[in-house]
Amino acid sequence: MVRFFRTTAIAAGLLVASNPVFADDLVTIMELAMRNDPTLRQAEAQLNANRTQLDMARASILPQANATFSEQRQNSGLAGDISYTELPASTRRYSLGLSQALFNLSSWYNYQGAKDAERAQILNFQAQEQDLIIRVATAYFNVLRAIDDLTTRRQEEEASQRQFERTQQREEVGLVAITEVYEAQAVYDLARNNTILAQDTLATSYEALEAITGQPHPNIDTLVDDFPAEQVEGDMERWVSEALNNNPQLLAARAAVEAQTEVTKARRSARLPTVNLQGGYQYVDSTANQGTDGSVRSAGAIEGVSLSVQVSIPLYTGHSLTAQQEQAEYNLVAQQEAATLARRQTTQNIRNAYRRVNTDALVINQRQQAIVSAEAALNAIEAGYEVGTRNIVDVLQSRQQLFVALRNYSDARYNYVIDSLELKRRAGVLTPQDIIDLNEWLTDESESATQ
């Protein structure tokens, strides 16, 4: 993870050091998310915990050593003897044991499987890192989406209020019927209600962003108006090939198959003999005992070294080895099917993402034109209303269509940004550099207003 995010951390530091910050930009928020996002921190802790499985598997093929020390003291005497005499004795024992597996295929295959399993875990964590980029970007641009939506809702409310007040004045002098006042008021009431809902949506969007970074972001940079929306470079099959070679979730599924294959080999080889080298050293020191006749008996010190080769062959284990082997084989089939499913889903997802980005680029251009057309239509209908060829309903509907076109255009821009990042994530090539590049298209409106 350190290597994956190092580019973002360095770049963010340079940006903060070189420019005065008036609002939080995308790189700053990403850097905060790297440190504070609980989902990523949990995934990192789980990765570190799972890595201990490799150490435990490696331990079974490494030398094992142990040392022991014991000391025994006892007092004894002749039973029934009136003149009881103690016979004290003590023994100290030191020993050192060493063992090394010379031939144990089951342990070796388990170790190889643990290495593949660790590789799968690292790849899954890389997928979590890329998911963080998507979550941050989605939350960030959802805030901007909600800001734009609230802006257009307020503009629509103000326009509806002006139209309502104007219609009231026209009705008071007898130029229009009371029904037009009712229609204008209904549109204004609905616009006011939509503004209230948009305010709540914006607050929710801010909360979602804060939940990732752990800090509030009341002021963030906005997307510039001339942000380019272009078709995806390269054909679809090139992106499919890229995804099949780089998608971390797919690579993790393949690594899991390799890990389970090694585990299956380990279960099959559990019936084979195991050969272990055993070595030991022992030192025993016994103190003297004084007998009833006053004599002294001493065992003295004894030491010895042993070396042996132990061969173990499992003959009958109550069919447990057979059951473990069958379980491993079934698990292997399950992992293989999971990898097949991951491959198909990756192919499907990358194709859908590719088409979605291209569609977004076309939609943005069309929605720009829709705004121009809606403005022209509204101007024409308002002119017709002034001369009596159009009614108030036509005006109200035309104005609503204009604001709908404005909101649709805003949605299309943010959809394009998020879908472009999602395409790279599906292909497995999404990196923090993409966030740094995207950040260049953001601007602080408060800073721009002062320049």
Note the pLDDT of residue 213: 94
pLDDT given for residue 441 in this prediction:
94
Asked whether residue 31 falls in the same domain as residue 69, the answer is no
Of 283, 312, 341, which residue sits at a domain end?
312
Say if residue 451's pLDDT is above 90: no
Per-residue CA distances from 193 to 223, 237, 270 (Å) = 27, 47, 71
For residues 330 and 399, state if they share a domain. yes
Looking at residues 118-145, what average pLDDT do you find? 95
If asked whether residues 392 and 266 sit together in one domain, one would say yes
The pLDDT of residue 25 is 92
The DSSP bridge partners found for residue 52 are none
Q: Which residue has the tokens 């209303």?
A: 385
pLDDT at 293: 54
* Residue 36: how many other CB atoms lie within 10 Å: 14
Place of tokens 């390269």: 234
List the CATH number of the domain containing 90: 2.20.200
Q: State what percent of residues in the chain have pLDDT above 70.
A: 87
Among 68-72, 98-102, 375-379, whose mean pLDDT is lowest? 68-72
Question: Are 402 and 300 in a shared domain?
Answer: no
Q: Which of 295-304, 352-361, 380-389 has the highest mean pLDDT?
A: 352-361
The most confident of the ranges 9-18, 119-128, 302-311 is 119-128
The verdict on 114 and 228 lying in the same domain is: yes
- For 227-237, the pLDDT digits (tens) are 999 999 999 99
Mean residue pLDDT across the chain: 87
Does the pLDDT of residue 337 top 60, yes or no? yes
Residue 232 has what pLDDT? 93
Residue 99 shares a structural domain with residue 213? no
Number of domains comprising the chain: 2
195 lies in the same domain as 241: yes
Quote the pLDDT of residue 250.
Answer: 96
pLDDT in tens, 235-291: 999 999 999 999 999 999 999 999 999 999 999 999 999 999 999 989 888 775 555
CATH number at residue 255: 1.20.1600.10
Confidence check: pLDDT of 187 > 90: yes
Say which residues have a Cβ less than 8 Å from residue 377's Cβ, sequence separation at least 6.
398, 401, 402
Q: So what's the pLDDT on residue 291?
A: 53
| Same domain? 243 vs 293 | no
Asked whether residue 245 falls in the same domain as residue 304, the answer is no
The residue among 106, 131, 171 whose CA lies nearest residue 43 is 131
Please state, in angstroms and as integers, the Cα–Cα distance from residue 317 to each residue in 176, 270, 322, following that order: 98, 11, 9
Distance (Å, rounded) from C-alpha 268 to C-alpha 307?
30
The pLDDT of residue 18 is 39
Is residue 19 located within the same domain as residue 128? yes
Q: How confident is the model at residue 397 (pLDDT cuts 50, 70, 90)?
A: very high
| Cβ atoms < 10 Å from Cβ of 221 | 25
Residue 131 scores a pLDDT above 90: yes
pLDDT tens, residue by residue, 44-85: 999 999 889 888 999 988 999 999 998 887 665 555 555 545
**287 and 412 both lie in a single domain:** no
Boundary (domain end) residue, out of 262, 297, 312: 312
Query: Do residues 357 and 420 touch, judged by C-beta distance below 8 A?
Result: yes
Q: What is the pLDDT of residue 298?
A: 55
Reference 341, options 237, 250, 259, 422; nearest CA is 250
pLDDT of residue 71: 83
Q: What is the mean pLDDT of residues 109-121?
A: 94
Q: Which domain holds residue 291?
A: 64-75+84-103+274-312
Residue 19 has pLDDT above 50, yes or no: no
Q: Kindly report the number of other CB atoms within 10 A of residue 78's CB atom.
A: 11
Q: For the chain, what percent of residues have pLDDT higher than 90?
A: 70
Averaged pLDDT for residues 390-397: 90
Give the residue among 33, 212, 249, 260 at the shortest CA–CA distance from 122.
249
Do residues 241 and 291 both lie within one domain? Answer: no
Query: Quick one: pLDDT at residue 336?
Result: 96
Domain boundary among 258, 291, 312: 312
Rounded distance between C-alpha atoms, residue 296 and residue 284, angstroms: 19
